[in-house]
Structure 1
Amino acid sequence: MAKVLPPIISTDYKPHPIETMKAAQWMGPRDIQLGTVPKPMLTANKDAIVHITHCTICGSDLHMYNPDMKSAMEKGLILGHEAIGIVDEVGPEVKTLQVGDRVIILPVIACGECFYCQNEEYSLCDKTNPSKEMEQLYGHRLSGIFGYSNLTGGYPGSQAEWCRVPNADLVCVKAPKDIAAKKLLGLCDVTPTAWHGNELAEVGKGDVVGVWGCGAVGLSIQRLALLRGAKKVYAIDKDPYRLALAERYGSIPLDVSDYTNIADLVLELEPHGLDRAIEASGFRSTNSIKHKIMRGINAEGDSSDTVSAIIKATRKGGNVALIGDFFFNTNDFPIGAMMEKALTVRGGQLYAQKYFPLLLDLTTSGNYDPSFMFTYEDDFENVAVDYEKFNNHEVPGGLKVCLVTAFGRSQK
């Protein structure tokens, strides 16, 4: 292991001489606690320590909040992978960041050197995730992710007052200091994930697109699909409020709870089928009694309800993208229809680093505003209560909460 040299500190910045911080810790299913833990330190020459100003709770964090991922969790893990802040310290091999810089912390921890990183497939990085359990499950290990279970490396997350960022030149994006915090926070994960969904599905000018899910990611996919030139975007969900939001942003809402098989409705409206279909509702989404029972008795880990409808509703030769974090196994998957219809099906975690500076430029130029997803603001110290609200669909405004740390409040 390389010797860790003293950090570079700018002459006009005074480090915070404290040894502990507040952090959101996983203590068991549906048990998130605001704990006091040691402030992180530089442990490698390419590290940075970021003083968090704003963070948020992701829909995929609920996989850990609920019992779905408990076998991969460790008590005390700091959660979270969406945050922005100010660089507090940098290691001697950090080249593009300085103490005092405002940064977006990307969720994917990549090395920048392996075969996959060289091909800009950063979430497939070979070097940043030591999980043998993932290698056993999938045959290979994927990248590390902040605060996202031991399957992705067990890295402490960014729902905290400070965060250690490995390979900071690649994992942090330097951001303007005059851009609203919520715009930058929306660029951490949701917007690049939504762009990734459009990229995987190859959404382009004139396409008819269907998006299953109208949470923050689903709505972002829809808005970006229209920005990319899609002719029509169908928004498919069962939440009336979110469907109304989708319609406000230019999509055509379809309430899945009104129909026995939503794919049949889509094909009535679009007999040719969807050119591109994107799943953004998550592996816990079930509509049929059969799959609810199978998940209830642990006969499957994921549900194929939504994917089955997508495959049926997509035109022959069309594209399907899976964004909603499938982890395990499913039953009754329509492999015949997928093969015979010559569909291209792609999935995977976002290639976050690949999509910058494009997405930052779209935002700073005013062509796209990701701050719409934050329908509620709260103090970071209330994070445990906000997890419960988010899980119970009780977040004011229905989408995401912007959590502001004490340091963030001091910057206003």
Structure 2
Amino acid sequence: MKAARWMGTREVEIGVVPKPTITDPSDAIVQITHCTICGSDLHLYEGDLNDAMQKGDILGQEAIGFVEEVGPRVKSLKPGDRVIILPIIACGSCDYCQRQQYSLCDVTNPSKEMETLYGHRLSGILGYSRLCGGYPGNQAEYCRVPNADLSCVKAPRDIDPRKLLGLTNVVTTAWHALELAEVQAGDIIGVWGCGPVGLSVQRLAKLRGAKKIYGLDKDPQRLRLAEEFGMTPVDVGANPEIGDYILSIQPGGLDRAIEASGFRSTQKPPHAAMRAIGLERDSSDTVAAIIKATRKGGNVALIGDFFYTTHDFPIGPMMQKALTIRGGQAWPQKYHPFLLDLVVQGKLDPSWMFTYEDEFENIADHYRKFAQHEVPGGLKVCLVTAFGRSERMEASSDMGIIREDGGFVTL
């Protein structure tokens, strides 16, 4: 089969690798029809986790497809089912899974390195380094999905695939951020980052009744999108002391602040310099601004995939202002029945985040475009495998639709 393989810093190639097989009774083999590149995948692409990667590792954590085969212990799926593949691999039985904190699963990540770094092992994640279990990802024509009853969500066949692809990770991560920050009706919130996840946080915050939402970014195209969606855009690049600036336009500060820009986001030269020479692997630059801009007793959520250590963390202001700071990978299994129902009912449409599409075989070029902010439309690409193209043609033929542009339709 064809798969996107990590070959080193800024090197991704399409290679031919063996098709996966059932190796555990709880596995499913899924034939991938559509996949995309996650912002977190850029950490691997840019070399931030090279010490946790091996040449040839299969990438990818956002994909949908059809079940081809299931192991004998899989109860909720059968061959032919259309599924959303969740990136978090959970056992369903440990204490954390029983509390629905699936990304904290005790069982599915064998990484001793993570245990050494953190004191504990977190859950495994598809296609996201040996630190997260070394599981092959789903930027491929087939994927072995462990614990398929928990890692796959059965989806209707008659829904635009882009809506389902947006539900694999982006929407669940955005909802998780709002849960961590305890966003409520009437809140004033700030979201650092106007990429797919950050904009999803902002749009879902409106759904939850937030009174005012600031969208912060440096990218002019993404700031325009935030404004078009009804947010108040703030150009971080034009305001070096962004914490002070937020306080100047929002007296009293933010009720809730959400970091969705990632550990590579820096604003001040010292942090950029420390990252460049290896003194700092994760930057506290954005977090420091967030802590300053958040009101006393407010809430902060960190979802930008911080992994290691940082300098100059403002622990004093955090403690003295009585802030609640929470972070962590999403708990998609907890949120998914609710979020998928919103899509089925027409109350939520995540397809907006896919601003263009292409064939899966061109994925290496799209990694480069994503990393350099050259994505057409500014957000995400929907990549269609040969199976997805075949499915689309068959559906169009069955419904008598003549398609000249190759674009998606709701079937």
Which residue in the other structure is 1:5 paired with? Answer: none
Which residue in the other structure is 1:191 paired with? Answer: 171
The whole-number CA distance in structure 1 between the counterparts of 2:350 and 2:122 is 27
2:313 is paired with a residue whose SS is coil
Which residue in the other structure is 1:234 paired with? Answer: 214
- Is 1:130 aligned with 2:85? no
1:250 Cα deviation from its structure 2 partner: 1.3
Which residue in the other structure is 2:345 paired with? Answer: 365
The whole-number CA distance in structure 2 between the counterparts of 1:74 and 1:109 is 20
Of 52, 59, 68, which residue of structure 2 is paired with 1:72? Answer: 52
Which residue in the other structure is 1:388 paired with? Answer: 368
- Is 1:249 aligned with 2:229? yes
Query: Where do 1:5-404 residues align within 5 Å?
Result: 21-404=1-384
Residues 69-119 of structure 1: per-residue CA shift (max 9 Å, x gap): 101101111000000000000111110101000000000000000010000
Residues 113-137 of structure 1: per-residue CA shift (max 9 Å, x gap): 0010000000000000000000000
**Percent pairwise identity:** 70
Assess if the C-alpha contact under 8 Å between 2:65 and 2:84 holds in 1: yes
2:383 is paired with a residue whose SS is strand
The whole-number CA distance in structure 2 between the counterparts of 1:356 and 1:237 is 28
The whole-number CA distance in structure 2 between the counterparts of 1:265 and 1:312 is 10
The whole-number CA distance in structure 2 between the counterparts of 1:368 and 1:328 is 35
Question: How high is the TM-score relative to the length of structure 1?
Answer: 0.95
1:356 Cα deviation from its structure 2 partner: 1.4
The whole-number CA distance in structure 1 between the counterparts of 2:336 and 2:117 is 31
Question: What letter matches 1:104 in structure 2?
Answer: I
2:261 is paired with a residue whose SS is coil
Question: What letter matches 1:231 in structure 2?
Answer: K
The whole-number CA distance in structure 2 between the counterparts of 1:164 and 1:129 is 16
Query: Which of structure 1's runs of 4+ aligned residues deviate more than 4 A?
Result: none
Question: What letter matches 1:193 in structure 2?
Answer: T
1:260 Cα deviation from its structure 2 partner: 2.2
2:131 is paired with a residue whose SS is helix
The whole-number CA distance in structure 2 between the counterparts of 1:358 and 1:268 is 38
Residues 173-225 of structure 1: per-residue CA shift (max 9 Å, x gap): 00000000000000000000000000000001000000000000000000000
2:153 is paired with a residue whose SS is strand
Assess if the C-alpha contact under 8 Å between 2:94 and 2:107 holds in 1: yes
Question: What letter matches 1:140 in structure 2?
Answer: H
1:357 is paired with a residue whose SS is helix
1:24 is paired with a residue whose SS is strand
Assess if the C-alpha contact under 8 Å between 2:163 and 2:351 holds in 1: yes
Question: What letter matches 1:69 in structure 2?
Answer: L
Question: What letter matches 2:136 in structure 1?
Answer: P
Question: How high is the TM-score relative to the length of structure 2?
Answer: 0.95
1:269 Cα deviation from its structure 2 partner: 1.5
Assess if the C-alpha contact under 8 Å between 2:240 and 2:267 holds in 1: no
Residues 242-287 of structure 1: per-residue CA shift (max 9 Å, x gap): 0010011111000011112111111111111100000000000011
The whole-number CA distance in structure 1 between the counterparts of 2:15 and 2:327 is 35
1:356 is paired with a residue whose SS is helix
Question: What letter matches 1:131 in structure 2?
Answer: S
The whole-number CA distance in structure 1 between the counterparts of 2:183 and 2:220 is 26
1:368 Cα deviation from its structure 2 partner: 1.1
Q: What is the alpha-carbon root mean square deviation over aligned residues?
A: 0.5
2:2 is paired with a residue whose SS is strand
Greater CA drift, 178-187 or 248-257: 248-257
The whole-number CA distance in structure 2 between the counterparts of 1:289 and 1:316 is 28
Gaps of at least 5 residues in structure 2 are 393-411
Residues 278-301 of structure 1: per-residue CA shift (max 9 Å, x gap): 000000001101101111111111
The whole-number CA distance in structure 2 between the counterparts of 1:168 and 1:250 is 38
The whole-number CA distance in structure 1 between the counterparts of 2:360 and 2:238 is 38
The whole-number CA distance in structure 1 between the counterparts of 2:227 and 2:266 is 23
The whole-number CA distance in structure 2 between the counterparts of 1:29 and 1:221 is 30
